[in-house]
Amino acid sequence: MRYLEEKMVVLSKLAANGRAKSGKNNSSVCFVSGSGEFSGVNKIAAKVRKDVERVTGALPNQVEWSESGKVSGASDAESFVIFGTVGKSAIISALAEKRIINLDNVKGKREVYSFTVVKQSDIPGLEKPALIIAGSDKRGTIYGLFHISELLGVSPLVDWAGVLPAHKDRIVLTEKDNFVSKEPSVKYRGFFINDEWPAFGNWTMHNYGGFNAKMYEHVFELLLRMKGNYLWPAMWSARFSEDGPGLLNAELADEYGVIMGASHHEPCCRNGEEYKYLRGKDSIYGDAWNFRANREGITRFWEDGLKRSGKFESVITVGMRGEADTAILGKNATLKDNIDLLRDVLKTQNGLIKKYVNADLDKVPRMLALYKEVEPYFYGDKDTKGLMGDPELDGVTLMLCEDNHGHLRTVPTEEMRNHKGGYGMYYHFDYHGWPYSYEWTNTTSLPEVKEQMCAAYEFGIRELWIVNVGDIFSNEFPLSYFLNLAYDYEKYSDLDYTTEQYTKEWTDFQFASLKKSERSLIASVLTRYTKLARMRRTECIKPDTFHPVNFGESDMILAEAEKIIADVEKLNRALKKRIVPESLYAGFYSQVYFPAAGTMNVLRLQLTSGKNRWYAEHSILAANPLCAKIRKYLEFDKSLVRELDTVDGGRWYAMGWSEHIGFQNWNEEDNQLPVEVKTAGANKPRIVVWLDGDSSVSIGQDWTRRILRLNAFRNPEVSEVYLNIATASALPFKFEIKTNKKWISFDTTKGEVSPKNLLQKVAVRINRKLLAKDGNKDETPYIGVFGVNESAPKTLVPIEVDVRPLCDASLPKGELPAGTFVQTGDYISIEAEHFVRNVAANGAAFKVLPGYGKTLSAIKAFPVTAWFPTAAQTENAPNAPKARASAENSSHAPFVEYAFALDEAGSMNFDFYLSPLNPVSKKNLLQFVAEVNGAKILKDVVPPTFAVGDDQQPWGDDIANNIRISTVTAQCKAGLNILRVYPVTPAFVLEKIVIHAENKPMPYSYLGAPETYRTPKN
Amino acid sequence: MRYLEEKMVVLSKLAANGRAKSGKNNSSVCFVSGSGEFSGVNKIAAKVRKDVERVTGALPNQVEWSESGKVSGASDAESFVIFGTVGKSAIISALAEKRIINLDNVKGKREVYSFTVVKQSDIPGLEKPALIIAGSDKRGTIYGLFHISELLGVSPLVDWAGVLPAHKDRIVLTEKDNFVSKEPSVKYRGFFINDEWPAFGNWTMHNYGGFNAKMYEHVFELLLRMKGNYLWPAMWSARFSEDGPGLLNAELADEYGVIMGASHHEPCCRNGEEYKYLRGKDSIYGDAWNFRANREGITRFWEDGLKRSGKFESVITVGMRGEADTAILGKNATLKDNIDLLRDVLKTQNGLIKKYVNADLDKVPRMLALYKEVEPYFYGDKDTKGLMGDPELDGVTLMLCEDNHGHLRTVPTEEMRNHKGGYGMYYHFDYHGWPYSYEWTNTTSLPEVKEQMCAAYEFGIRELWIVNVGDIFSNEFPLSYFLNLAYDYEKYSDLDYTTEQYTKEWTDFQFASLKKSERSLIASVLTRYTKLARMRRTECIKPDTFHPVNFGESDMILAEAEKIIADVEKLNRALKKRIVPESLYAGFYSQVYFPAAGTMNVLRLQLTSGKNRWYAEHSILAANPLCAKIRKYLEFDKSLVRELDTVDGGRWYAMGWSEHIGFQNWNEEDNQLPVEVKTAGANKPRIVVWLDGDSSVSIGQDWTRRILRLNAFRNPEVSEVYLNIATASALPFKFEIKTNKKWISFDTTKGEVSPKNLLQKVAVRINRKLLAKDGNKDETPYIGVFGVNESAPKTLVPIEVDVRPLCDASLPKGELPAGTFVQTGDYISIEAEHFVRNVAANGAAFKVLPGYGKTLSAIKAFPVTAWFPTAAQTENAPNAPKARASAENSSHAPFVEYAFALDEAGSMNFDFYLSPLNPVSKKNLLQFVAEVNGAKILKDVVPPTFAVGDDQQPWGDDIANNIRISTVTAQCKAGLNILRVYPVTPAFVLEKIVIHAENKPMPYSYLGAPETYRTPKN
């Protein structure tokens, strides 16, 4: 009886006497709703009770309290969970009246709930400890209920993905858990099921028989558990308002408080597919999706849509696009034609909405998507006024869209931010279109989502956030983050709360029942695989994307991909053994194993194919065993997709069916699986020799001999380098390795390559102590790989070794700042976060975005909305270049400073590796300033003609490469040089800087040269 | 005794009584030389007697007649062959004295012999019928002796290549055979054994133990039998004057009358390799091949060379080059430095020659090669006078060189032609250098040799012709032609005596013992394989040289190559069965089988590899069976080379060892054998569809569907076209073919492609009668290939059929000349010889060069030395373009006229496919005039900076491609157009013209589009 003495609610299977209760509703707690409550709320309560059972093994009973005061079935409960919606629930009214609960911070709020544990409710028949959840509205109560699940450790994915919670015998809630929730940061928060064939479509046909309410029941639950409230249903072959069957989908959504929208081209509660079914020669809707030619039919089509669905809670799409994601008028229409047409459409639609939904248009959430071709209709051009500020758009939420690949396009300027109706953002975790589609499995980077969605919020886009999640499957993880950020912007936008930390916490929560080491490994896998997968989307990786040799790129990525696969295989084996079917395994499989193993397998497949080709191109026989690997990886891919069909009894059937290898076009058609290339080698004994990281090869024969150059030892941190000796014929080849220097040694000095030993890697080592004592510094150090064969062509591969002292050796001690990048080879490569100084100005400063981008991280100036048009000006040079920058703001600019030291003076290229973000305004400006030894250079990152869209370059290539390289050329000195980087416009996110002589282009690699040597921190 | 009654000499085994003679010297004829005769002549007589034995089975005896009148051993002879050299031979003197022979046309001549059959010689003891051969000099007598062999039907290759003659019981010579030979057209005629490793070098080490007299015995015999007289010996590791052993080589040459030269960089009877052996710190010759630094040593080296070898008949090389085919001074030397040095060298050498060889320099044949870098030293430049006209060069034969690839460089201008000493030409059937080497087996085209060597002769190059024959092996056939032409220019230069006819006669002569059908097949094989092999040299063919699909190029060549291989395999089987070892088989194998099968196998290998790649690139599974073919062809190549080592007891051991597949560089190093590419195909059923000859493919799926276009039926001569339907996955794919037109039919209208039927070729046929009746001409004719599968992606490949009437249909009948090329597709292609008019001017006219070039033939204006600088002028346009042409000659120019008719007017490109010849003078002019509908365009084929040499472009690419495409753009009319082509400079050889719209580039092919439709001859 101890429990009753405190403010404490226990969710447990045990009765107060410590014995397990028996029977169906065998929990010690009883849920209580009030009469008048929303039916949807009660349905959600049932899901939460199920969660209690999932965790404790005991299913709580639920009873209804009415003003009559009678409750039945609650007598044996030891505590209560009382829930209800303010203004709807009789019991909440009663509790408030009795001042058991205080609704001051709840009433009138949006989607807010209070969570109050009381010693006893003071309600007759319920005089026991109670948790009282009072929601400000339907979703407030629902979120309050799901907050119980959260406290129970139940994942929002529990129903959708089978991510089952850890068992606990009892959960105790006390007044420490009391709180009042906040209003969500973003008003409409949701996702869009899209590109649903072949995966989602076949999945729902197979598991539910259609796009019906049986399926949507699960989708709605997923959305609400994630504290979302807004959904765009599947729309390519589905008709949400017809497939329920009938209105069942829409009715169920409304009951649950799920606000329905329709995608950007489906106005007035009509699905695009609907018209296809209803149109025809004799149709009352006519037979043309054309507001000019078939105004009457189209208007009636909309009218009937609003009549049918206007009663449900919706954000009604307005505007009009062509069918199937195309422009509304043909190619010959002028901008003005289009704008006039769209205005006419809006006027018509607003009229219909007034008539059939609500005469007060302000009460009707409406949305116009500024997607693709609609965007210019909104902005107009210099000759044609756009729809911006048009009375028909008053109160309409303007949905701005990113570029389908995760990068915001224009954002509201300060003057635009007051638009009544506010702004929305349509974001993508999945896309079907140019320059490439990404639909198979999650390749989203949380740091990138965070950076862009925070920017969106800061620029005032707070009314509506929707994200295209494709088939949902495997995108639940980034979706969690997206909806968390939308719900509680302050918490999740914090730069100190890294996405890596988020990932750890997310993993710990989802997989609480696993061992700590397993959870930690899962979090690590999620962080690592998404990093690799986002370097380039799975679908558009090709055998030549990464370089098979240069900078060791291929080997490095291959090793990481293999490690991730090994990690998830290990987890998979362990979990498969331990966990019974229908349990957490489905969650692990869908959220971790499948996307990580799947994407990393495609990556290793393409990397292996690239290596296979490179070897074969040089007649290197090591190409041949890679053919079997290519086959194996292709087979692994197929088996993975087949396995997914059967996991957890077919829970994910068809979800892996999207093509995902070797896209030649933006879509899967004509995709090319890697081929196997086999070489017979040369007729005579031959070797091919190269150094790790450098694709210069030498076969060492007289006429074509190439001297290889080894300069890696100039880097004081490198003491071992690998030499590759590969046979390029089926005949054995004996070699010996010699050097003229005692301080160079090898792990082997002779050997034989042959079909039995295709490739010999030889470690070359340096002894720096002996080097220091070398009395003959003028003699060029060299290594020779000599053929020692009776009948092979005479072979000698010469390797010159560069161990010249670094330029800092001749500088006075302490002249170089700690962290100076000192040249050791042909170039210097700097990760953006490795500046030596970070100087703020007027409250603005660069900050590091951890984990962002293709390599280490990135930096970006905050506040993110700030412009620094005067950054290029210097005191000494008042007439410094202004280029296309116009002064919106005259504050001084912050900067970061990098120190680097060169062997020789010369004209150097600075390749700035930038995130391929888009200019934030119609001015099309994206600028920064590079200052080299005091001389400022204002750089336009994109040309004035820059545009986003199908067939637009350089945008398309940058998007595919996930980088935009912007090069500045400047004269440098021998020895120390200082580079400062200033932001000018927003959307300047810097990942890396590569410095090399202007006349010495960098060898190809996908990631750019890896970071080079810098002096240690003092 | 009938024989004695006539002027008749019988070579026979039979005695007069008809019974076979027995014993060693069992012939009915006896050879008689005179005392005082050259020993070499007697040795040659022995070879001719051996020939008699080879033919008749009976070896004639030989006796010597001296002024004493005694002969022994001739008593049982029934007739005599009396031979001797005028001024040397006692018996010839005696016969002349008795007026049995008349020496008026022999005496004092160069290399002339008389051939006289007399009833009896009137010499005591020799009073029987006799053939009397009187030579004007040693070689005159030798050629006269070998003329017997010729009459016997013995091939010049009898000893060298085992080309054995047919057996004849007896050969009868009568006075009808009497004649006096002509002086050879070219004074020094010979070949150069070069690039002798690995083939020739290993061959002679294996068969003769070195580069010694045992081996040269055969080489000299070959040369003399071919009526050559001049030889450059092997020189890369050999020392002709040391390897005999000792002077044996030189002595033997001198004995046989073989005039020795040394290659272009081996002056003063010294071999380049000699210096390597003699140099050294303590050497009297010093230790530097440097006339500046080691003048004394080098001078002594030359001096000792002349002392040693000056006594032998030689053409002494003068001048000096760097070691191993390189320039003499370093990169920093000026042109003047080099010229001064060379003049100094010449002066020194001339001094030494006067001292040690002959004080009268005019009596010493000397040669300076204007090879590679030496050429500019001769011509100088605008600032520096070259060596032309220098007294040190007076009487020195100036050897001009072609570009190593068979194209003359500068030739003597009219003013230069009087140079005392005359000119020589160094030509190549084999080359080791840039842009590619060709050393394996014969790929020389007789029409090209004829065209260029005749031009050389016409330009006055008549003193010396030498050809680099590499290892000799397999180049004997073109060498025969080369030496024939040099010996009897008038006969072999005749355009009416085609090289094809020459080939037939050559074959009939070599292989007289074979059946007529076999001989005819061999001649055809030689003509056909050399044509194909010369399109691009074997070594530098790559998988992408020919296009696997466009214009059916690959299929066409593949079929021809396969046919040639089948032909020689058939011959080989027949001959192997029939012919005993050591017989004609070795000759057939070396001259026909090996080069034809070898080159054609490499061709089919590379073509198959190209197809393999193209298929694999499109995921077409038909790629996979080609991998086995690639392996098979590679193995065939190896087995051929192995077999050659054993043929005829090792006669050709090592002669096939040169690498010859997939050169990446100019030499064999790093050559790449074709790889095998295997594709797994796509995961889903997929087809790839294309039309024969057009590499546009369509997979027929929704987003990327490409419409194919079939316009082949516009050509009235085409009634059937093939459609290719290939599976691009391992899953079966059913298709149906439909059309909207009754006049289109197919050999199959449905089918399935699958791993069992990878590629379905469907014949599409047109019924022109039904087409004529088609009442619905406005409807676009189309063909659809439909997928009819349950689960494959929806597939429809649409093919639009273009059957628009040709433009001539609307023209008045007879408006078009017969032979007008009427447009049927996107372009018109014209073989140069298919002009409609050929108009001469002032005795100059175009003539056809049959069999010349990459496709049908070529045309060239004669006389070949003529310039037509006024060709671009017209009466109406006196100020017509003069470009860089300067008037050397003001005659009007001849022209050819082509008629072509276009569908539409427009700006058209005329791609002139020219033989990649070089400008004939230092002016660097290569020009022609294209006149389109009366408007003349003067075209410079090469830029003013054009140069021949290492790394020179466009020369290098043109040489490799064996074509130079020169494009002229002109406006054309719809309907009939007239193109006239005029020569301006020499060296204009036109093979083909392709006409296409300026804005519509031609699809890639190596040969250019094949000839298109032209109206029939009336």
List, in order, residues 6 or more apart from B545 with CB less than 8 Å away: B536, B606, B610, B1006
- What's the rounded Cα separation, in Å, for the pair B195 and B432? 7
In chain A, which among 597-616 make CB contacts under 8 A with chain B? Answer: 616
In chain B, which among 657-716 make CB contacts under 8 A with chain A? Answer: 659, 661, 665, 667, 669-673, 675-684, 699, 701-704
Q: Within a 10 A sphere around the Cβ of B194, how many other Cβ atoms?
A: 24
Residue contact A703–B667, C-beta within 8 A? yes
Strands B366-370 and B316-318: parallel
E-assigned strand segments in A254-395: 259-260, 316-318, 366-370
Closest CA to A95 of A116, A64, A79: A116
Q: pLDDT digits over B25-74, tens only?
A: 678 899 999 999 999 999 999 999 999 999 998 999 999 998 887 777 77
- Determine the straight-line distance between the first and last CA of chain B, rounded to whole angstroms: 64
Name residue B651's amino acid. Answer: R
Q: pLDDT digits over B977-988, tens only?
A: 999 999 999 999
Residue contact B670–A699, C-beta within 8 A? yes
Residue of B626, B667, B669 to mutate, interface with A, max A Cβ within 10 Å: B669
Across B231-240, average pLDDT: 90
Q: pLDDT digits over A898-924, tens only?
A: 999 999 999 999 999 999 999 998 889
- What's the rounded Cα separation, in Å, for the pair B370 and B378? 7
What ipTM is given for this predicted complex?
A: 0.91
Give B261's pLDDT tier (boundaries 50, 70, 90): very high
List, in order, residues 6 or more apart from B580 with CB less than 8 Å away: none
Residue contact B617–A672, C-beta within 8 A? yes
Q: Residue A95: enclosing H or E segment and its boundaries? A: helix A90-97
Closest CA to A123 of A97, A158, A162, A155: A97
Closest CA to A907 of A812, A972, A951: A972
Residue contact B678–A679, C-beta within 8 A? no
Determine phi and psi for B34, rounding to 5 degrees: -105, 155
B638, B670, B682 ranked by CB distance to A671: nearest:
B682
Q: Residue A836: enclosing H or E segment and its boundaries? A: none
Q: Which residue of B has its CA nearest to A615?
A: B675
- What's the rounded Cα separation, in Å, for the pair B607 and A44? 70
Residues B308, B310, B311, B313: is their CA dihedral positive or negative? positive
E-assigned strand segments in A613-758: 676-678, 687-691, 708-710, 720-727, 733-739, 744-746, 750-753
- What's the rounded Cα separation, in Å, for the pair B637 and B961? 24
Q: Which residue has the tokens 């089509």?
A: A301
* Residue B521 C-alpha from the chain's centroid: 20
Regions of chain A short of the pLDDT cut 70: 1-7, 14-25, 264, 323-330, 580-582, 874-891, 1018
SS3 string, B590-624, reads HHHHHHHHHHHHHHHHHHHHHHHHHHHHCCCCCHH
Residue of B613, B638, B670 to mutate, interface with A, max A Cβ within 10 Å: B670
CA dihedral B430, B432, B434, B435 (to 10 degrees): 50
- Quick one: pLDDT at residue B842? 86
Closest CA to B820 of B810, B812, B830, B832: B830
Contact residues on chain A for B654, CB-CB shorter than 8 A:
none
- What's the rounded Cα separation, in Å, for the pair A592 and A521? 11
- Distance of residue A903 Cα from the nearest chain B Cα, in angstroms: 29
A638, A667, A703 ranked by CB distance to B665: nearest:
A703
| Any B CB within 8 A of A326 CB | no
Give the three-state DSSP class for A531. Answer: helix
Predicted model pTM: 0.93
Give B18's pLDDT tier (boundaries 50, 70, 90): low
Q: Which residues pair with B787 in a beta bridge?
A: B735
Q: Which two tokens stand for residue A948?
A: 């986003």
**Buried b vs exposed e over A236-253: b needs ≥16 C-beta within 10 Å?**
bebbbbbbbeebbbbbbb
- What's the rounded Cα separation, in Å, for the pair A60 and A31? 7
Residue pairs between chains A and B whose CB atoms are closer than 8 Å:
87
- Quick one: pLDDT at residue A290? 87
A617, A618, A699 ranked by CB distance to B669: nearest:
A699
- What's the rounded Cα separation, in Å, for the pair B893 and B898? 16
- Quick one: pLDDT at residue B864? 96
Instruction: Tell me the CA distances in angstroms from B1004 to A416, A776, B547, B606, B1009, one per residue in order.
Output: 55, 58, 7, 17, 9
Closest CA to A765 of A792, A785, A746: A746
Contact residues on chain A for B640, CB-CB shorter than 8 A:
none
Instruction: Tell me the CA distances in angstroms from B668 to A683, B405, B439, B540, B788, one per residue in order.
Output: 11, 17, 10, 10, 51
- What's the rounded Cα separation, in Å, for the pair A116 and A112? 13
- What's the rounded Cα separation, in Å, for the pair B356 and B306? 6
- Quick one: pLDDT at residue B885? 42
Q: B644 with B593: CB under 8 angstroms?
A: no
Does position B950 have pLDDT exceeding 50, yes or no? yes
Q: Which residue of A has its CA nearest to B697?
A: A670
Q: What is the mean pLDDT of chain B?
A: 92
- Quick one: pLDDT at residue B1? 33
List, in order, residues 6 or more apart from B781 with CB less than 8 Å away: B739, B740, B741, B744, B800, B801, B803
- What's the rounded Cα separation, in Å, for the pair A303 and A477? 39
Name residue A317's amino acid. Answer: T
Q: B573 with B524: CB under 8 angstroms?
A: no
Q: pLDDT digits over B558-614, tens only?
A: 999 999 999 999 999 999 888 765 578 889 999 999 999 999 999 999 999 999 999
Does position B22 have pLDDT exceeding 90, yes or no? no
Across B308-329, average pLDDT: 80
- Quick one: pLDDT at residue B578? 85
- What's the rounded Cα separation, in Å, for the pair B1014 and A778? 74
Strands A750-753 and A733-739: antiparallel
